[in-house]
Amino acid sequence: MSQTLPTAETAAVPNSSGITVIIVGLGIAGLTTAVECHRRGHSVIGFEKREDHHQLGDLVGLGANGMNVLSRWDKSMRPALDAIRAVISSIDYYDSGGELKGSLPYASDDLLNVHVVQRSGLIDLLYGKARDRGIDLRFGVRVCDYWESEGNAGIVLENGHKVAADCVIAADGVHSKATGIFTGEDVAPYSTGAAIYRSHFDARAIRDDPEANWILNSTAQADNVNMYFGKDTTLLVGTVGKGKYVSWNMPHKQVKGLSNSWLQPADPQRVMEFVKDWPIGQKLTAILSKTPPQRCWNHSILARYPLSTWVSKGGRMIVIGDAAHPMHPNLAQGANLAIEDAAVVAICLELCGKENVPIGLRVMEKLRHKRVSVVQAAAIKAMERQFDANWDTDQVQGKPTYIPRPAWLLRHDCVGHTYDEYQSAALAVANGSEYIPTNAPLNGVYDDVPEPA
């Protein structure tokens, strides 16, 4: 009887690969990896130091490249994601005087758009899909160390207990302990000299305030998203769920004394100080002042130079998502690239088989490293352009309204690509030869073919 080969459009029989995977960190990257690995026939054990899956936060971008992964899970995924996204007809750009400087039309069916979804809603959805599959997810468990041998790898828990598997996938974020252990590199993130205030709250907090509820105008048809550019800062104010929620964020450069905690509570009064002298300041502070207690956060924006490797010396441990490639928020690709990582690592393990796990993880790295490194560099440049806010430049790419939307990034199907490219990359791993990636510009130029602003 001939063996049925795996394909991009089919899922494997549960636990059919014989591979057991440990996942450390159960945020967007980790939960997606758990489901993707289960879909590819692997047995999964997930660990998370938080007591449960709930996470605060505001918004993340989800593009077609991320949706290419999630929409394959089942028919309920797209309507479930629609329920937690902003319904946007345009993004409007203003200067600090309130003058409209540009508007970016936002067609919902445009594959080059990145949809805005609630971070907490996305994590709830991913967790629900993992739970429904019966995946072993363990919360409130702290991983203290890692180990690997020729035949397996594993973790050491706080109580000294060891858990073994065929491989370990660490998705434990920008402050990952695993990254330094796996790679042997100095992986301390550096400060970009910037930070960001963020908030997301129920619109009922402003609905009855005539000074603040202007942002809810016309939201029965579509959400409002307005971005205001000032000196060394911008303020984005918008709605989600057709006016059900209000969300705002402000990148800034006052980083002295600021901790790196992603959810460090902050006083929105500090944000109001930034905009109080803007001609449109009073209109904006009316909204900012209604931010509920404990719904404003401020944290440093950190970066890390691309690692030379994501895979451990023995080849049985790998870092993904922010643990491998922390991403500035300006291009809204951090979540998408983490989701891509999850799909690719699961498929590589499926195609390599239990006897060749180290090859599978090294193939995953070859398929992903160039692609995410190009986006990492471009996100830094995008942040710098946003801070400069040069409205007078003759160069389209220099204007604050310019949002590069390259098709190579946003229309990429990482699932089909992995099945197509696995053998070529595996041959390069086996022979120690060069693998030329086909999912990123070889010259490293993110927006080689600019889209109009």
Whole-Å CA distances, 31 to 65, 124, 277, 306, 428: 17, 10, 44, 24, 30
- How far is residue 280's CA from residue 375's CA, in Å, rounded to a whole number? 34
- DSSP, residue by residue, 185-231: S----EEEEEEEEEEEEEGGGTTT-TTTGGGGTTTTT-B-EEEEEET
From residue 181, alpha-carbon distances to 24, 269, 319, 356, 363 in Å are 14, 41, 10, 22, 20
The token pair at 163 is 């858990």
Q: Is there a contact between 42 and 53 (Cβ–Cβ < 8 Å)?
A: no
CA separation, residue 432 to residues 353, 360, 418, 427 (Å):
20, 14, 19, 8
| Rg for the chain, CA atoms, rounded | 22
CA triple 84-90-94, angle to 5 deg: 115
Q: How many angstroms separate the CA atoms of 365 and 344, rounded?
A: 9
* Active-site residue identified among 85, 198, 295, 316: 198
- Is 245 a residue of the active site? no
Which of the following is catalytic: 93, 106, 228, 446?
228
Judge contact between 225 and 236, C-beta under 8 A: yes
Whether 347 and 9 have beta carbons less than 8 Å apart is answered as: no
For residue 293, the tally of other CB atoms under 10 A from its CB is: 8
Which of 56, 41, 24 has the alpha carbon at shortest distance from 138?
A: 24
**The sheet that has 43-48: what strands, in order across it?**
136-139, 43-48, 20-24, 167-170, 317-319
Can 40 be counted among the known catalytic residues? no
Q: What angle do CA 246, 249, 251 make, to 5 degrees?
A: 175
Cα separations in angstroms, 195 against 27, 252, 264, 336: 21, 5, 11, 22
> What type of residue is 300?
S
What SS3 state is found at 321?
Answer: helix
Residue pair 196/182 in contact (Cβ under 8 Å)? The answer is no
Catalytic residue list: 198, 228
